[in-house]
Amino acid sequence: MLARYCPKITPYVFYEMLGKGNSPSAFTFSQVIQAKCVVNEVDFASSLLRDMKNKGLYRIL
């Protein structure tokens, strides 16, 4: 929900969460990826998808 209505704030919340030692879930990653796509930062969204895959949160069937 935050990604859709506040796409510029969503990544800051994500990185603040990481800074506090919280591990992102697939849902958290997907919100940031959606937010980055909304503001046309598709390359950054792609890099997050790779990070998500490296953490084992995303698999290609």
pLDDT of 1 higher than 70: no
The answer to whether the CB of 58 falls within 8 A of the CB of 45 is: no
Token pair listed for 10 = 């969503």
- At residue 22, φ and ψ (nearest 5 deg) are -85, 140
Contact yes or no for 8/14 (Cβ under 8 A): no
Can you give the residue ranges of every domain in the chain?
A: 2-54
* Mean pLDDT, residues 55-60: 73
pLDDT of residue 46: 92
Q: Provide the 3-class DSSP secondary structure of residue 55.
A: coil
pTM, two decimal places: 0.76
Over 60: is that where the pLDDT of 34 sits?
A: yes
